Chains A and B, each alone.
Chain A
Amino acid sequence: MPVDETLSRYSDWTYAAAVGVYVLALLFSLVEQAFGRSTRKAAERELVGAGAPVVKPLGEPANAEEDRAGRAERFGRMSVSLIVLGALLHLGALALRGLATGRVPWGNMYEFGATLSLAAVVTWLVLLRRFPIRRLSVWLLLPVIVLMFLGGVVLYTTAAPVQPALQSYWLAIHVFAIALGSGMVLVPGVVSVLYLVKVRRPQWATRLPDAHVLDQVAYRTTVFAFPIYTAGVIFGAIWAESAWGRFWGWDPKETVAFVAWIVYAAYLHSRATAGWRGGRAAVINIVGFAVMIFNLFFINLVIAGLHSYAGL
């Protein structure tokens, strides 16, 4: 099937626009981070807002500080809107890429990175509805923007059909499940770093939410992502059985995927082990995410294996 170059160009523009909007959202979120209320007050307000019916604080003090905080909060809300807009553009870029090539838009490393980061952003948007973590958007957008920038500049590949080994419906299933799982664990990876800062250096983290909120966000996201990632690896094994002649062959990519799986399994176990909850568990989660990133970049780019394809 020939590639529609016009659509592919539109896809590239939309991708760039999405990155631009994310950068803007990051700046807005930064304003809230810098000038917003410090954690205690903000947390109280957020808590009321999260569960029980919203109670408007009576007679809001009209002093300058409060005023500034209110404006900062408006920036925070705008940053959320911008993230939603960015995610829509991001989705549009992927959809256009898919239409241009007539296949699923995760057939090379550039496209995989784009899918993964969209998964991370959508996960974040879902979490925003349930937890008072809006001002942490900066910390999520930072790695997402870096990933998308690297993808768009260093790893970019022109839209093209994929080689015979990838022409299978498992491309849609396996790669999507892995991209989704990897994108989702980006969130707990980042949040666990913040957790460690909050617990070990509280004086630096007056504007971060409570440690237990961070812990909950990390845990619940990991718990959701882990079965998806597990299924993704198993889908990969099923595909490998029909494409490479064996379901598991300790190809470097498979090996590191296995290592990452073991690390996340260790994370789940650590939360049921006395003395390992909290800080140590957070460290394990960060290690798990580091292994995922290592698998994405180092194994793909430095070590040749069956998962390396010509167009990255």
Chain B
Amino acid sequence: MRVVALLRNTWRGLTSMRTALVLLFLLAVAALPGALLPQRSLNAGKAEQFITDNGWWGELLDRLGFFAVYGSVWFSAVYLLLFLSLVGCLTPRTFEYAKSLRAKPVLTPRNLARLPHHAQGSATRDPDAVMATARQRLRGWRLAVREEDDGARSISAERGYLRETGNLVFHFAMLGLIVALAIGKMFNYEGQVVVLANGSEFCNSGTFAYDTFTPGLRVDGTDLDEFCVKVDDFTAHYLPTGQADYFRADLGYQAGADLATGTWRPYALEVNSPLRVEGDRVYLLGNGYAPVFSVTFPGGEKRTGTTQWRTVDNQTYLAEGATKFDPPGISDPAERRRKQLAITGLLAPTAVEHNGALTSGFPDLNDPAVAIDVLRGDLGNESGRGQSIYEVNQSMVDSGRLKRVARENLRPGEELKLDDGTVVRFDGVRRWVYLQVSHDPAQVWVLGFAIVLVLGLGTSLVFKRRRLWVRATPATGDDGDGRTVVVLGGLARTDQAGYGEEFQRFAADLLAELAPDDGDEDPAREDVAAGRET
């Protein structure tokens, strides 16, 4: 019995407005650290840096989930409680709402003068005629006419039911939106990949095709929607200030039957117009440069390498990276590991040289140059550990197994010769694009619920729930013969805002129509003024 009472009280407490308010505040407070602290999901490097910079304090925050706020236990707890509280609040309100739709407006209060809005006047007609006039003026209101004692009649009128309708629609749409979000988190995925803009292809056939891949909770990377993209060209245009004006990647894509026939359909991919294909979206998120180096080995064999270098300055597109070569025709692994080559350094799309140091003066490919170190030795590829494509393995350099054999600045077409006769030539620069493929089957539902949410919100705030009563009583006393006393009362059920004016206008108009021949002394107006909103 006590358990039941405890459960019931907990439920009541949870679904009360006060709790909902507190939970709303908690949600706001819990969301804030995500804006102030670096988040892993947005910038993992920055988050790691922050943790190392702040010692034990950073580690404590990390353990408490402050660098992945929106997946943390405490954030989830707050919104789940809020979700429950919302359900608990909405369920009884829905039933009440359904009941009120069928109910008649409430009985007329005995003393209308006590209401926040009231007015009084007199009419020359009998109560039934007064009711008929009032009824006519109350078109659009829900009405109930009642007979009272002493031959009095009264009307109860109510309108603005749409307020509650809108309010409920808003809250249910929010529930729907949260559910759709959750479903999206189950089945979505997002992958990023760099593709050279020289006719290179990319196929959405598995996680291996991506540089990075973030699956939803129920996605394992198999069974992706099959389609392929070929990047034929990339165009960028910059203003003289260096500000980007537009980016465009000319794509070919194939999906469905096209995959079998090998048909490529063209698409101009731009920043604000993703390619939508097979329920997935392909975005142009970035671009950069890849230097082309060709190496002629002493034996005369030639190898050409085009590896993307990463942009280190977003204003000038200065890039850094490493292009790596395996010497050809050497079968002995130990020997090969003495002769591997890496070309590392900087690439400037518009070269500005200052005492031999290279920087970039403009993001476009006006006057490219590279400042490179050529390293020879063991790249460490066989160490069993993955390594960045943008860097050489520093431990190999530190242990002396990878040595610098040349350092020079080159323009396209220029070359340098190593001590063993190997020739390294800087052929030119290619562009690459950074693409993202996103998949979220529920996002259209999120959108739908969001639209309904705004409509519901608008409706609930525009309409006002309000009540109005008119009572007509036959006048008693000596001079009351044939006259009727008319009393009006009004009550705004939600916020009082603005109802006063509407009520006064109605009262003044009705009383003026009922007593047109009252001359200078207009009792209706006076009473209306006295009953003003306070």
Contact = CB atoms under 8 A, between A and B. Distances in A.
B24 A223 contact: no
A16 interface: no
Interface stretch (B147-155, B270-278, B324-332): B270-278
B495 interface: yes
30 contacts: A51-B501, A161-B245, A164-B245, A164-B246, A164-B247, A168-B272, A170-B272, A212-B534, A223-B461, A226-B461, A227-B461, A230-B457, A242-B272, A243-B271, A243-B272, A244-B283, A245-B274, A246-B190, A247-B443, A247-B447, A251-B42, A252-B34, A252-B35, A255-B34, A259-B28, A262-B28, A263-B24, A266-B24, A270-B21, A291-B28
Interface of A: 47, 51-52, 160-161, 163-165, 167-168, 170, 212, 216, 219-220, 223-224, 226-227, 230-231, 234, 237-238, 241-247, 249-253, 255-256, 258-259, 262-263, 265-266, 269-273, 275-276, 291, 299, 303, 305, 310-311
B18 interface: yes
Contacts of B247: 164
A271 B492 CA distance: 14
A262 B27 contact: yes
Nearest to A260: B28
B285 interface: yes
Which one of A47, A237, A262 has the highest number of Cβ atoms from chain B below 10 Å of its Cβ? A262
Contacts of B41: 249-250
Contacts of A303: 35-36
Contacts of A299: 35
Which one of A219, A243, A291 has the highest number of Cβ atoms from chain B below 10 Å of its Cβ? A243
A272 B17 contact: yes
Interface of B: 17-18, 20-21, 24-25, 27-28, 31-32, 34-36, 39, 41-42, 69-70, 190, 239, 241, 243-247, 270-274, 281, 283, 285, 315, 436, 438, 440, 443, 446-447, 450-451, 453-454, 457-458, 461, 494-495, 497-498, 501, 504, 525, 528-529, 532, 534
A262 B501 contact: no
A227 B274 contact: no
B17 A269 contact: yes
A215 B25 CA distance: 22
Given A160-B243, A255-B34, A227 B454 contact: yes
A252 B39 CA distance: 10
B457 A163 contact: no
Contact of B498 (A163, A220, A251): A220
Which one of B69, B461, B525 has the highest number of Cβ atoms from chain A below 10 Å of its Cβ? B461
B28 A51 contact: no
Contact of B239 (A160, A230, A245, A269): A160
B239 A273 contact: no
Given A223-B461, A273-B18, 7 more contacts: A243-B272, A244-B283, A250-B42, A255-B34, A263-B28, A265-B24, A269-B21
